[in-house]
C-alpha cells in the first residue's frame, strides 16, 4: 500500500517494536469489563475515573501506553492503513471490503465540495478570525448543505451550488466600503417539523458523518488559504484525503512523503477515548441535537490549550526556549514558578504516549536539513530529557501527542495557526463514530454539582445596597 514511502513505514515499525518491547499490551480488567448499571467507580474532579458509557470504538491503556481502534493497534494502522480506511473502521466497526472502500471514497470525493458553506464562510473576515472559531462556524454552516431528507437519499442538493457569478447568489451583497459584507436576509419559509428521534436513523447519521469527515478538511483548508491572503481551491477528486487536505491548503500537490506524513498524523489523532472534546460532542448529541452541532462543540472544546490547542503552544514554547538559549534553566524556572510545560502530561497516559512514539522519529526524519525546524527539534529533544528526568518517575509525565506534532506540521510548511484545526480534521472521525454509537443507547447526560452555597438570604432592593 505504501511502496513509495517505505522509509516512513520503517520508522513506524521501529517505534512499534520499541513500544512492544518496553510495555506489555495487556488490557486493564476494570476498563474492559461490561458495565452493569449503576456502576461503582471512584470519581475525581473533572469526572476523572467516571464511567459514562460502554464503547467498542477505541481503547486507551494509560498505564501501558497502548492505543487501539476497533481492536487494531494504532501502530499497525499507521504502518499499513490509510486515514480513509481508519475512518471507515471507526464508523462501521470493521475494515471495508474493496467494494465498500471504493464506495466510501467516492462519497468522500462528493462531500469534499462545500460550495454553499464556503460561499457563506467567505462572507466573514476569516483572515482576522481565530482559525478554530472559523472552523466551528463552518462546521455548523455545513448543516445547510445537506438537509435531513438529502441524508436519507444520500444526495447533496447539487442544483443549489452557488457559482462565482455574484448575480446568482440568492442573498444580495451590498459592498458599501465596509470591511464586512452586508446582507439583505431572505425571509425564511415555514419548515417541516422533524421527527424527534431523527438522530437514531442510522443511514442519516452515517451520511452526516461521511459529510463531516470529508468537509472539515475542505473548510480548514479554505480558512488556511484565506489567512494566507489567497482564495480557496477546489479539491482534486484524484487525491487521497490527506493529499487533498495538503493540496487545498498549499495549492501544491504534495510529494508521496508529505502525503504519507499527513496521513499518519491524521490516523494518530483520529480517536482517543472519552477525551474532553469527544465528551463535549457526546453531551450535545445526547440531547438529540444533531451530529453537526455535536462536532461543532467538539471543535470548541478542542480549542483550549489544555487539549488540542497545546500543539500550537508547543511550537511557540520551543521558539521561546531557543531564544532563551538554556533548556535546563528554562524548564527549571518554569516548573519552580508552577508553570506547565506544553506537550507533556496526560490525564490517562501515565506512560509514554504511543502517538508521540511515532511522531518523534517522524519529526527527526523530516527536520534534517530544515534550517528553521532542526534547531527547534534539538531543543525539543533536550526538553524531553529534562522534563522526563524531573517529572517522569514520580509524576509519570512524558511527552504527549502534541509535543512533536507541531514540528512535523512545521516541516510540511503549515502555519502554527492551523495545527489545532488539523487535529479537528482528524478527530472528527472519532467524534462521529462515538456519537453514532452513543445514540444507539442514548441517555441524556446530566451529572450533578454539589451545591455548597448559602441558603435563606434576604433580597435587598438595589437602592438599599451599600456602595451606590
Contact flags string 376-395 toward ligand ACO, x per CB under 6 A: ---------------x---x
Q: What is the DSSP string of 414-440?
A: --GGGHHHHHHHHHHHHHHHHHHHHHH
Contact call for residue 300 and ligand ACO (CB under 6 A):
no
Q: Answer yes or no: 346 catalytic.
A: yes
The Cα angle at residue 330 between residues 327 and 331, in degrees rounded to 5: 85
Contact call for residue 401 and ligand ACO (CB under 6 A):
yes
Among 215, 232, 298, 345, which residue sits at the site for ligand ACO (rule: CB under 6 A)? Answer: 345
Q: Answer yes or no: 402 catalytic.
A: yes
Residue 167: exposure state from Cβ atoms within 10 A (0-12, 13-18, ≥19): exposed
Among 341, 376, 408, 424, which residue sits at the site for ligand ACO (rule: CB under 6 A)? Answer: 341
Contact call for residue 356 and ligand ACO (CB under 6 A):
no
- Please, which residues have CB within 8 angstroms of residue 268's CB and are 6 or more apart in sequence? 74, 78, 355, 358, 359, 401, 426
Q: Answer yes or no: 2 catalytic.
A: no
Query: Considering only 60-68, 149-157, 224-232, 340-348, which stretch makes contact with ligand ACO by CB under 6 A?
Result: 340-348
Least Cα distance to 341 among 300, 380, 393, 283 occurs for 380
Which run of H or of E encompasses 30?
helix 29-32
Q: Is the preceding peptide bond at 38 cis, omega within 30 degrees of 0?
A: yes
Among 344, 409, 419, 431, which residue sits at the site for ligand ACO (rule: CB under 6 A)? Answer: 344
Among 43, 172, 306, 326, which residue sits at the site for ligand ACO (rule: CB under 6 A)? Answer: 306
Contact call for residue 310 and ligand ACO (CB under 6 A):
yes
Catalytic entry in 151, 402, 415, 464 = 402
**Beta strands at 183-184 and 72-73: parallel, antiparallel or unpaired:** unpaired
How many residues are present in the chain?
Answer: 468
**Beta strands at 66-69 and 58-61: parallel, antiparallel or unpaired:** antiparallel
d(CA 433, CA 2): 26
Contact call for residue 134 and ligand ACO (CB under 6 A):
no
DSSP state of 348: S
Catalytic entry in 99, 307, 329, 394 = 307
Query: Considering only 68-76, 77-85, 230-238, 398-406, which stretch makes contact with ligand ACO by CB under 6 A?
Result: 398-406
Q: Which residue is nearest to ligand ACO (CB)?
A: 345
- For ligand ACO, which is the closer residue by CB, 397 or 439? 397
Contact residues for ligand ACO (CB under 6 A)? 306-308, 310, 340-347, 391, 395, 397, 400-402
Known catalytic residues are: 307, 346, 402
Amino acid at each position: 500500500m505504501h511502496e513509495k514511502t517505505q522509509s516512513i513505514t520503517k520508522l513506524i515499525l521501529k517505534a512499534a517494536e520499541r513500544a512492544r518491547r518496553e510495555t506489555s499490551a495487556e488490557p486493564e480488567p476494570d476498563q474492559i469489563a461490561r458495565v452493569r448499571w449503576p456502576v461503582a467507580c471512584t470519581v475525581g474532579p473533572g469526572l476523572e475515573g467516571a464511567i459514562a458509557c460502554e464503547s467498542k470504538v477505541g481503547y486507551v491503556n494509560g498505564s501501558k501506553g497502548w492505543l487501539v481502534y476497533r481492536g487494531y493497534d494504532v501502530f499497525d494502522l499507521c504502518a499499513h492503513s490509510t486515514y480513509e480506511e481508519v475512518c471507515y473502521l471507526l464508523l462501521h466497526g470493521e475494515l471495508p471490503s474493496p467494494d465498500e472502500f471504493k464506495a466510501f471514497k467516492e462519497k468522500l470525493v462528493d462531500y469534499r465540495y462545500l460550495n454553499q458553506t464556503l460561499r457563506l464562510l467567505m462572507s466573514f473576515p476569516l483572515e482576522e478570525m481565530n482559525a478554530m472559531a472559523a472552523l466551528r462556524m463552518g462546521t455548523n454552516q455545513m448543516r445547510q448543505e445537506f438537509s435531513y431528507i438529502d441524508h436519507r437519499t444520500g444526495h447533496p442538493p447539487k442544483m443549489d451550488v452557488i457559482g462565482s457569478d455574484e448575480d446568482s447568489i440568492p442573498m444580495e451583497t451590498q459592498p458599501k466600503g465596509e470591511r464586512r459584507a452586508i446582507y439583505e436576509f431572505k425571509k425564511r419559509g415555514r419548515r417541516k417539523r422533524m421527527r424527534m428521534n431523527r438522530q437514531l436513523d442510522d443511514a442519516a447519521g452515517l451520511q452526516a458523518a461521511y459529510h463531516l469527515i470529508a468537509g472539515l478538511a475542505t473548510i480548514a483548508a479554505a480558512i488556511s488559504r484565506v489567512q494566507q491572503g489567497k482564495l480557496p481551491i477546489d479539491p482534486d477528486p484524484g487525491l487521497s484525503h490527506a493529499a487533498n487536505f495538503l493540496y487545498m491548503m498549499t495549492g501544491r500537490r504534495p510529494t508521496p512523503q508529505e502525503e504519507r506524513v499527513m496521513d499518519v498524523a491524521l490516523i494518530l489523532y483520529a480517536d482517543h477515548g472519552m477525551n474532553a472534546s469527544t465528551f463535549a460532542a457526546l453531551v450535545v448529541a445526547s440531547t438529540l441535537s444533531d451530529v453537526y452541532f455535536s462536532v461543532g462543540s467538539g471543535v470548541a472544546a478542542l480549542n483550549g490549550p489544555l487539549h488540542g490547542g497545546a500543539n500550537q503552544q508547543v511550537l511557540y514554547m520551543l521558539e521561546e526556549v531557543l531564544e532563551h538559549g538554556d533548556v535546563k534553566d528554562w524548564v527549571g524556572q518554569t516548573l519552580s514558578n508552577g508553570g506547565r510545560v506544553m506537550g507533556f502530561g496526560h490525564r490517562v497516559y501515565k506512560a509514554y504516549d504511543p502517538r508521540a512514539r511515532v511522531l518523534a522519529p517522524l519529526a527527526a526524519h523530516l527536520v534534517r536539513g530544515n534550517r528553521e525546524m532542526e534547531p527547534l527539534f534539538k531543543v525539543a529533544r533536550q526538553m524531553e530529557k529534562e522534563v522526563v528526568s524531573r517529572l517522569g518517575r514520580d509524576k509519570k509525565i512524558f511527552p504527549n501527542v502534541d509535543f512533536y506534532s507541531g514540528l512535523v506540521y512545521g516541516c510540511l510548511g503549515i502555519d502554527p495557526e492551523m495545527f489545532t484545526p488539523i487535529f479537528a480534521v482528524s478527530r472528527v472521525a472519532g467524534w462521529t463514530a462515538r456519537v453514532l454509537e452513543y445514540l444507539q443507547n442514548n441517555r441524556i447526560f446530566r451529572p450533578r454539582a454539589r451545591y455548597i452555597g448559602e441558603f435563606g438570604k434576604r433580597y435587598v432592593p438595589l437602592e438599599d445596597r451599600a456602595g451606590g
